[in-house]
A = this chain, B = another copy of it.
Amino acid sequence: MNRLTGKVVIAQGGGPTAVINQSLVGAVLEARKFSAVTRVWGARHGVRGIVAETFVDLSEATSHNLERVARTPSSALGSTRDKPDAAYCQRIFEAFRKHEVRYFFYIGGNDSSDTVRIVTEHADREGYELRALHIPKTVDNDLPITDHCPGYPSAARFVASALGGVNADLLALPGVYIAVIMGRHAGWLTAAAALARKHDDDGPHLIYLPERQFSIERYLADIERVYQQQGRCVVAISEGVWASRDGKGQAIPVTVDLLRQAGREPEVDAHGNIQLSGGALADELAAVVQKSLGIKRVRADTFGYLQRSFPGVVSAVDAREAREVGEKAAHYACGRDLSGSVVIERIGDYAVRYALADVREIAAQTRCMPDAFITTDGNGVTDAFRDYLRPLLGDDMPDLERLGAPAVEPGHD
Protein backbone atom coordinates (compact mmCIF):
# COMPACT_ATOMS: atom_id res chain seq x y z
CA MET A 1 0.00 0.00 0.00
CA ASN A 2 1.14 3.47 -0.88
CA ARG A 3 2.25 5.76 1.93
CA LEU A 4 3.27 8.83 -0.09
CA THR A 5 0.85 11.53 1.02
CA GLY A 6 0.53 14.71 -0.99
CA LYS A 7 -1.04 16.55 -3.86
CA VAL A 8 -1.52 15.55 -7.46
CA VAL A 9 -0.67 18.09 -10.15
CA ILE A 10 -1.94 17.26 -13.62
CA ALA A 11 -1.21 19.23 -16.78
CA GLN A 12 -1.64 19.03 -20.55
CA GLY A 13 1.14 19.88 -23.03
CA GLY A 14 1.57 20.28 -26.78
CA GLY A 15 -1.10 20.27 -29.46
CA PRO A 16 -4.67 19.44 -28.42
CA THR A 17 -6.50 16.32 -29.57
CA ALA A 18 -10.17 15.32 -29.67
CA VAL A 19 -9.79 12.99 -26.67
CA ILE A 20 -7.04 14.48 -24.49
CA ASN A 21 -9.66 15.50 -21.93
CA GLN A 22 -10.70 11.85 -21.57
CA SER A 23 -7.21 11.20 -20.21
CA LEU A 24 -7.43 14.23 -17.94
CA VAL A 25 -10.77 13.16 -16.51
CA GLY A 26 -9.73 9.50 -16.21
CA ALA A 27 -6.69 10.46 -14.14
CA VAL A 28 -8.56 13.00 -12.00
CA LEU A 29 -11.53 10.79 -11.16
CA GLU A 30 -9.32 7.82 -10.24
CA ALA A 31 -6.75 9.90 -8.33
CA ARG A 32 -9.49 11.45 -6.20
CA LYS A 33 -10.27 7.97 -4.83
CA PHE A 34 -6.87 7.46 -3.19
CA SER A 35 -6.72 8.51 0.47
CA ALA A 36 -3.02 9.47 0.16
CA VAL A 37 -4.01 12.14 -2.37
CA THR A 38 -4.76 15.31 -0.44
CA ARG A 39 -5.87 17.44 -3.42
CA VAL A 40 -5.92 17.15 -7.21
CA TRP A 41 -4.75 20.36 -8.82
CA GLY A 42 -4.72 21.16 -12.49
CA ALA A 43 -1.98 23.45 -13.85
CA ARG A 44 -3.21 26.00 -16.38
CA HIS A 45 -1.29 25.83 -19.68
CA GLY A 46 1.01 22.95 -18.89
CA VAL A 47 4.33 23.45 -17.13
CA ARG A 48 3.85 27.19 -17.51
CA GLY A 49 1.02 27.00 -14.97
CA ILE A 50 3.24 25.11 -12.53
CA VAL A 51 5.97 27.74 -12.43
CA ALA A 52 3.40 30.56 -12.44
CA GLU A 53 1.43 28.70 -9.76
CA THR A 54 -1.81 29.13 -11.64
CA PHE A 55 -3.70 26.07 -10.50
CA VAL A 56 -7.35 25.05 -10.46
CA ASP A 57 -8.63 22.73 -7.77
CA LEU A 58 -9.95 19.69 -9.59
CA SER A 59 -10.95 18.14 -6.25
CA GLU A 60 -13.81 20.61 -6.39
CA ALA A 61 -14.89 19.94 -9.98
CA THR A 62 -18.16 18.04 -10.10
CA SER A 63 -18.14 14.59 -11.66
CA HIS A 64 -20.85 15.75 -14.03
CA ASN A 65 -18.77 18.69 -15.23
CA LEU A 66 -15.75 16.41 -15.63
CA GLU A 67 -17.72 13.85 -17.66
CA ARG A 68 -18.86 16.59 -20.03
CA VAL A 69 -15.34 18.00 -20.27
CA ALA A 70 -14.13 14.49 -21.17
CA ARG A 71 -16.30 14.60 -24.29
CA THR A 72 -15.02 18.06 -25.28
CA PRO A 73 -12.04 18.31 -27.65
CA SER A 74 -8.85 20.26 -26.95
CA SER A 75 -6.98 20.66 -23.68
CA ALA A 76 -9.41 21.91 -21.02
CA LEU A 77 -6.60 23.01 -18.68
CA GLY A 78 -4.91 24.92 -21.47
CA SER A 79 -1.64 23.86 -23.06
CA THR A 80 1.84 25.19 -23.77
CA ARG A 81 4.71 24.76 -26.20
CA ASP A 82 7.26 25.53 -23.45
CA LYS A 83 10.01 22.97 -23.15
CA PRO A 84 11.67 23.36 -19.75
CA ASP A 85 15.44 23.71 -19.46
CA ALA A 86 17.32 23.08 -16.20
CA ALA A 87 16.39 26.47 -14.66
CA TYR A 88 12.72 26.01 -15.63
CA CYS A 89 12.76 22.53 -14.07
CA GLN A 90 14.20 23.95 -10.88
CA ARG A 91 11.17 26.25 -10.67
CA ILE A 92 8.75 23.39 -11.36
CA PHE A 93 10.42 21.44 -8.63
CA GLU A 94 10.27 24.33 -6.16
CA ALA A 95 6.55 24.71 -6.81
CA PHE A 96 6.07 21.00 -6.17
CA ARG A 97 8.01 21.09 -2.92
CA LYS A 98 6.28 24.25 -1.75
CA HIS A 99 2.83 22.75 -2.27
CA GLU A 100 3.70 19.18 -1.26
CA VAL A 101 3.03 17.80 -4.68
CA ARG A 102 3.96 14.12 -4.78
CA TYR A 103 2.23 13.06 -8.01
CA PHE A 104 2.78 14.70 -11.36
CA PHE A 105 0.78 13.66 -14.43
CA TYR A 106 1.72 15.22 -17.73
CA ILE A 107 -0.46 14.42 -20.73
CA GLY A 108 1.42 15.05 -23.96
CA GLY A 109 3.63 13.88 -26.80
CA ASN A 110 7.37 13.60 -27.33
CA ASP A 111 8.31 16.93 -25.81
CA SER A 112 6.03 16.48 -22.80
CA SER A 113 7.50 13.06 -22.07
CA ASP A 114 10.94 14.64 -22.14
CA THR A 115 9.74 17.21 -19.60
CA VAL A 116 8.60 14.36 -17.34
CA ARG A 117 12.02 12.77 -17.71
CA ILE A 118 13.89 15.95 -16.75
CA VAL A 119 11.64 16.73 -13.78
CA THR A 120 11.94 13.14 -12.55
CA GLU A 121 15.73 13.24 -12.73
CA HIS A 122 15.73 16.58 -10.94
CA ALA A 123 13.60 15.24 -8.08
CA ASP A 124 15.84 12.18 -7.81
CA ARG A 125 18.92 14.36 -7.52
CA GLU A 126 17.23 16.45 -4.82
CA GLY A 127 16.11 13.34 -2.96
CA TYR A 128 12.47 14.47 -3.21
CA GLU A 129 9.99 11.64 -3.55
CA LEU A 130 7.90 12.30 -6.63
CA ARG A 131 5.86 9.94 -8.79
CA ALA A 132 5.86 11.35 -12.30
CA LEU A 133 3.67 9.86 -15.02
CA HIS A 134 3.67 10.64 -18.70
CA ILE A 135 0.22 10.03 -20.23
CA PRO A 136 0.61 9.70 -24.01
CA LYS A 137 -1.34 11.75 -26.52
CA THR A 138 -0.51 12.90 -29.99
CA VAL A 139 -2.32 12.98 -33.30
CA ASP A 140 1.10 12.30 -34.87
CA ASN A 141 1.21 8.75 -33.42
CA ASP A 142 4.98 9.00 -33.28
CA LEU A 143 5.80 7.81 -29.74
CA PRO A 144 7.88 4.64 -29.45
CA ILE A 145 6.91 1.43 -27.58
CA THR A 146 3.16 2.15 -27.36
CA ASP A 147 1.15 0.42 -30.13
CA HIS A 148 -0.52 3.74 -30.90
CA CYS A 149 -1.11 7.11 -29.24
CA PRO A 150 -4.47 8.32 -27.93
CA GLY A 151 -5.65 11.17 -30.15
CA TYR A 152 -4.31 9.58 -33.29
CA PRO A 153 -7.31 7.32 -33.99
CA SER A 154 -9.76 10.25 -33.86
CA ALA A 155 -7.58 12.43 -36.08
CA ALA A 156 -7.17 9.45 -38.40
CA ARG A 157 -10.93 9.09 -38.45
CA PHE A 158 -11.23 12.73 -39.48
CA VAL A 159 -8.69 12.27 -42.27
CA ALA A 160 -10.22 9.02 -43.56
CA SER A 161 -13.74 10.52 -43.42
CA ALA A 162 -12.59 13.66 -45.21
CA LEU A 163 -10.94 11.66 -47.98
CA GLY A 164 -14.10 9.54 -48.32
CA GLY A 165 -16.09 12.71 -48.91
CA VAL A 166 -13.47 14.13 -51.26
CA ASN A 167 -13.36 10.89 -53.24
CA ALA A 168 -17.15 11.04 -53.65
CA ASP A 169 -16.82 14.69 -54.65
CA LEU A 170 -14.23 13.85 -57.33
CA LEU A 171 -16.41 11.02 -58.66
CA ALA A 172 -19.09 13.66 -59.23
CA LEU A 173 -16.83 16.41 -60.57
CA PRO A 174 -13.59 14.82 -61.80
CA GLY A 175 -10.16 16.41 -61.62
CA VAL A 176 -7.13 16.24 -59.39
CA TYR A 177 -7.39 16.81 -55.64
CA ILE A 178 -4.48 17.15 -53.23
CA ALA A 179 -4.92 16.95 -49.45
CA VAL A 180 -2.07 18.26 -47.31
CA ILE A 181 -2.21 16.50 -43.94
CA MET A 182 -0.40 17.01 -40.60
CA GLY A 183 2.80 15.08 -39.92
CA ARG A 184 6.19 16.70 -39.64
CA HIS A 185 8.47 13.66 -39.42
CA ALA A 186 6.07 10.71 -39.44
CA GLY A 187 3.37 9.88 -41.98
CA TRP A 188 0.88 8.09 -39.73
CA LEU A 189 -1.88 10.65 -40.10
CA THR A 190 -1.43 11.08 -43.84
CA ALA A 191 -1.44 7.31 -44.25
CA ALA A 192 -4.86 7.17 -42.57
CA ALA A 193 -6.27 8.62 -45.79
CA ALA A 194 -5.94 5.10 -47.24
CA LEU A 195 -8.84 3.93 -45.07
CA ALA A 196 -11.19 5.99 -47.27
CA ARG A 197 -10.81 3.41 -50.03
CA LYS A 198 -13.66 0.97 -50.52
CA HIS A 199 -13.80 0.27 -54.27
CA ASP A 200 -10.57 -0.50 -56.16
CA ASP A 201 -10.69 2.80 -58.03
CA ASP A 202 -11.43 4.95 -54.96
CA GLY A 203 -8.99 7.62 -53.85
CA PRO A 204 -6.60 8.39 -52.39
CA HIS A 205 -4.72 6.95 -55.35
CA LEU A 206 -1.38 8.30 -54.18
CA ILE A 207 0.00 8.84 -50.67
CA TYR A 208 3.28 10.62 -49.97
CA LEU A 209 4.91 10.33 -46.56
CA PRO A 210 7.92 12.00 -44.91
CA GLU A 211 9.41 8.51 -44.45
CA ARG A 212 10.43 8.64 -48.12
CA GLN A 213 12.24 11.31 -50.12
CA PHE A 214 9.82 13.29 -52.27
CA SER A 215 10.43 14.06 -55.92
CA ILE A 216 8.28 16.50 -57.85
CA GLU A 217 9.04 14.68 -61.11
CA ARG A 218 7.90 11.37 -59.66
CA TYR A 219 4.79 13.05 -58.18
CA LEU A 220 3.83 14.47 -61.58
CA ALA A 221 4.45 11.16 -63.35
CA ASP A 222 2.33 9.31 -60.75
CA ILE A 223 -0.57 11.75 -61.11
CA GLU A 224 -0.40 11.69 -64.90
CA ARG A 225 -0.59 7.89 -64.90
CA VAL A 226 -3.58 7.73 -62.52
CA TYR A 227 -5.38 10.56 -64.29
CA GLN A 228 -4.97 8.94 -67.69
CA GLN A 229 -6.32 5.64 -66.34
CA GLN A 230 -9.22 6.99 -64.28
CA GLY A 231 -9.91 10.55 -65.33
CA ARG A 232 -9.32 11.76 -61.80
CA CYS A 233 -6.71 11.52 -59.09
CA VAL A 234 -6.90 12.02 -55.32
CA VAL A 235 -3.59 12.60 -53.52
CA ALA A 236 -2.83 12.61 -49.79
CA ILE A 237 0.47 14.19 -48.87
CA SER A 238 2.16 14.94 -45.59
CA GLU A 239 3.03 18.56 -44.77
CA GLY A 240 6.48 17.28 -43.83
CA VAL A 241 7.54 15.83 -47.20
CA TRP A 242 11.08 16.76 -48.16
CA ALA A 243 13.08 16.67 -51.37
CA SER A 244 16.56 17.61 -50.17
CA ARG A 245 18.80 17.71 -47.10
CA ASP A 246 20.83 20.51 -45.55
CA GLY A 247 24.57 20.41 -44.84
CA LYS A 248 24.00 18.48 -41.59
CA GLY A 249 21.95 15.82 -43.36
CA GLN A 250 18.64 17.18 -41.99
CA ALA A 251 15.68 16.87 -44.35
CA ILE A 252 14.39 20.24 -45.60
CA PRO A 253 10.59 20.22 -45.89
CA VAL A 254 9.33 21.18 -49.35
CA THR A 255 7.34 23.96 -47.62
CA VAL A 256 10.61 25.51 -46.49
CA ASP A 257 12.06 25.25 -50.01
CA LEU A 258 8.99 27.11 -51.26
CA LEU A 259 9.22 29.79 -48.57
CA ARG A 260 12.89 30.37 -49.34
CA GLN A 261 12.17 30.61 -53.05
CA ALA A 262 9.75 33.40 -52.08
CA GLY A 263 12.49 35.08 -50.03
CA ARG A 264 11.07 34.19 -46.60
CA GLU A 265 12.38 32.16 -43.68
CA PRO A 266 10.12 29.67 -41.87
CA GLU A 267 8.75 30.41 -38.40
CA VAL A 268 10.39 28.34 -35.64
CA ASP A 269 8.66 27.42 -32.35
CA ALA A 270 10.11 27.28 -28.82
CA HIS A 271 11.26 23.68 -29.38
CA GLY A 272 13.13 24.58 -32.57
CA ASN A 273 10.42 22.90 -34.68
CA ILE A 274 9.79 24.59 -38.02
CA GLN A 275 6.21 25.82 -38.34
CA LEU A 276 4.62 24.07 -41.34
CA SER A 277 1.15 25.63 -41.29
CA GLY A 278 -0.24 27.65 -44.18
CA GLY A 279 -1.57 26.86 -47.62
CA ALA A 280 1.55 27.54 -49.72
CA LEU A 281 2.53 23.88 -50.14
CA ALA A 282 -0.96 22.89 -51.25
CA ASP A 283 -1.23 25.81 -53.67
CA GLU A 284 2.17 25.04 -55.18
CA LEU A 285 1.44 21.31 -55.51
CA ALA A 286 -1.78 22.18 -57.34
CA ALA A 287 -0.19 24.83 -59.56
CA VAL A 288 2.60 22.52 -60.74
CA VAL A 289 0.04 19.87 -61.78
CA GLN A 290 -1.96 22.44 -63.75
CA LYS A 291 1.14 23.85 -65.38
CA SER A 292 3.04 20.65 -66.15
CA LEU A 293 0.21 18.24 -66.93
CA GLY A 294 -2.27 20.68 -68.44
CA ILE A 295 -5.11 19.41 -66.23
CA LYS A 296 -7.63 22.18 -65.73
CA ARG A 297 -9.53 21.22 -62.60
CA VAL A 298 -6.96 20.85 -59.84
CA ARG A 299 -7.87 21.60 -56.22
CA ALA A 300 -5.85 21.39 -53.03
CA ASP A 301 -6.80 21.72 -49.37
CA THR A 302 -4.62 21.98 -46.28
CA PHE A 303 -6.50 20.21 -43.49
CA GLY A 304 -4.82 22.37 -40.84
CA TYR A 305 -6.30 22.65 -37.39
CA LEU A 306 -9.59 20.92 -38.19
CA GLN A 307 -8.06 17.45 -38.12
CA ARG A 308 -6.87 17.49 -34.52
CA SER A 309 -9.85 18.69 -32.48
CA PHE A 310 -13.04 18.42 -34.53
CA PRO A 311 -16.05 17.92 -32.24
CA GLY A 312 -18.26 15.03 -33.27
CA VAL A 313 -15.64 13.13 -35.30
CA VAL A 314 -14.27 10.94 -32.55
CA SER A 315 -13.37 7.25 -32.56
CA ALA A 316 -15.18 5.48 -29.72
CA VAL A 317 -12.16 3.18 -29.37
CA ASP A 318 -9.89 6.21 -29.03
CA ALA A 319 -12.13 7.89 -26.46
CA ARG A 320 -12.22 4.71 -24.36
CA GLU A 321 -8.48 4.13 -24.52
CA ALA A 322 -7.62 7.77 -23.83
CA ARG A 323 -9.79 7.52 -20.72
CA GLU A 324 -8.11 4.35 -19.60
CA VAL A 325 -4.49 5.53 -20.02
CA GLY A 326 -5.43 8.40 -17.70
CA GLU A 327 -7.01 6.02 -15.20
CA LYS A 328 -4.02 3.68 -15.41
CA ALA A 329 -1.64 6.54 -14.70
CA ALA A 330 -3.48 7.26 -11.44
CA HIS A 331 -3.35 3.61 -10.44
CA TYR A 332 0.36 3.22 -11.28
CA ALA A 333 1.32 6.35 -9.36
CA CYS A 334 -1.11 6.60 -6.46
CA GLY A 335 -1.87 2.91 -6.10
CA ARG A 336 1.40 1.18 -6.96
CA ASP A 337 3.95 3.89 -6.22
CA LEU A 338 5.45 3.81 -9.74
CA SER A 339 6.71 6.38 -12.25
CA GLY A 340 6.97 6.10 -16.03
CA SER A 341 5.03 6.40 -19.25
CA VAL A 342 1.76 4.55 -19.83
CA VAL A 343 1.82 2.53 -23.06
CA ILE A 344 -0.78 0.57 -24.98
CA GLU A 345 -0.04 -3.03 -26.00
CA ARG A 346 -2.14 -4.61 -28.71
CA ILE A 347 -3.24 -8.13 -27.84
CA GLY A 348 -5.43 -10.28 -30.07
CA ASP A 349 -7.54 -8.76 -32.82
CA TYR A 350 -8.53 -6.32 -31.46
CA ALA A 351 -7.89 -5.86 -27.75
CA VAL A 352 -5.37 -3.92 -25.69
CA ARG A 353 -3.73 -3.94 -22.29
CA TYR A 354 -1.80 -1.17 -20.62
CA ALA A 355 1.74 -1.22 -19.30
CA LEU A 356 4.31 1.14 -17.87
CA ALA A 357 7.48 2.01 -19.79
CA ASP A 358 10.59 3.84 -18.67
CA VAL A 359 10.07 7.46 -19.67
CA ARG A 360 13.69 7.59 -20.88
CA GLU A 361 12.75 5.15 -23.61
CA ILE A 362 9.89 7.40 -24.74
CA ALA A 363 11.27 10.89 -24.32
CA ALA A 364 12.19 12.88 -27.40
CA GLN A 365 12.01 9.82 -29.64
CA THR A 366 10.13 9.81 -32.94
CA ARG A 367 8.68 6.60 -34.27
CA CYS A 368 8.21 6.75 -38.02
CA MET A 369 6.16 4.29 -40.03
CA PRO A 370 7.94 0.95 -40.50
CA ASP A 371 8.89 -0.16 -44.01
CA ALA A 372 6.26 -2.92 -43.86
CA PHE A 373 3.52 -0.24 -43.85
CA ILE A 374 4.76 1.56 -46.99
CA THR A 375 4.57 0.19 -50.54
CA THR A 376 7.86 -0.44 -52.32
CA ASP A 377 6.95 2.31 -54.79
CA GLY A 378 6.84 4.71 -51.84
CA ASN A 379 3.57 6.26 -52.99
CA GLY A 380 1.06 4.23 -50.98
CA VAL A 381 0.49 2.10 -47.89
CA THR A 382 0.21 -1.66 -47.48
CA ASP A 383 -2.59 -3.92 -46.29
CA ALA A 384 -0.55 -4.43 -43.12
CA PHE A 385 -1.03 -0.73 -42.32
CA ARG A 386 -4.77 -0.92 -43.08
CA ASP A 387 -5.05 -3.91 -40.73
CA TYR A 388 -3.18 -1.92 -38.08
CA LEU A 389 -5.39 1.16 -38.32
CA ARG A 390 -8.84 -0.24 -39.07
CA PRO A 391 -9.80 -1.38 -35.53
CA LEU A 392 -8.69 1.97 -34.08
CA LEU A 393 -11.27 3.98 -36.06
CA GLY A 394 -14.27 2.39 -34.35
CA ASP A 395 -16.89 0.17 -35.97
CA ASP A 396 -19.15 2.99 -37.14
CA MET A 397 -17.11 4.63 -39.89
CA PRO A 398 -19.28 6.15 -42.64
CA ASP A 399 -19.73 3.51 -45.37
CA LEU A 400 -20.23 5.32 -48.68
CA GLU A 401 -22.42 3.64 -51.29
CA ARG A 402 -22.39 3.94 -55.07
CA LEU A 403 -25.51 3.69 -57.23
CA GLY A 404 -26.15 0.12 -58.33
CA ALA A 405 -28.34 1.08 -61.32
CA PRO A 406 -27.36 -0.51 -64.68
CA ALA A 407 -26.35 1.71 -67.59
CA VAL A 408 -28.99 2.14 -70.29
CA GLU A 409 -27.61 0.48 -73.45
CA PRO A 410 -27.54 2.63 -76.61
CA GLY A 411 -30.71 2.09 -78.64
CA HIS A 412 -32.52 0.64 -75.64
CA ASP A 413 -35.69 2.28 -74.38
Contacts and interface: CB of A to CB of B under 8 A. Distances in A.
Interface of A: 12, 15-16, 18, 41-42, 45, 53-58, 60-62, 65-66, 68-69, 71-81, 99-100, 161-162, 164-166, 168-169, 171-173, 177, 277-280, 282-283, 286, 299-306, 308-313, 398-408, 410, 413
Q: 4 tightest A-B contacts by CB?
A: A279-B279, A74-B168, A301-B304, A311-B398
B305 A16 contact: no
Most B CB within 10 A of own CB, among A166, A280, A300, A407: A166
A301 B68 CA distance: 28
A232 to B, nearest CB: 11
Nearest to A41: B408
At the interface, is chain A mostly helix, strand, loop or mixed? Answer: loop
Contact of A165 (B42, B73, B277, B301): B73
B305 A306 contact: no
A139 B401 CA distance: 21
A403 B57 contact: no
B313 A172 contact: no
B402 A76 contact: yes
A401 to B, nearest CB: 4
A299 B306 contact: no
A404 B65 contact: yes
B306 A278 contact: no
A253 to B, nearest CB: 16
Given A79-B173, A280-B283, A405 B57 contact: yes
Given A165-B306, A310-B161, A99 B279 contact: no
Contact of A277 (B60, B161, B162, B299): B299
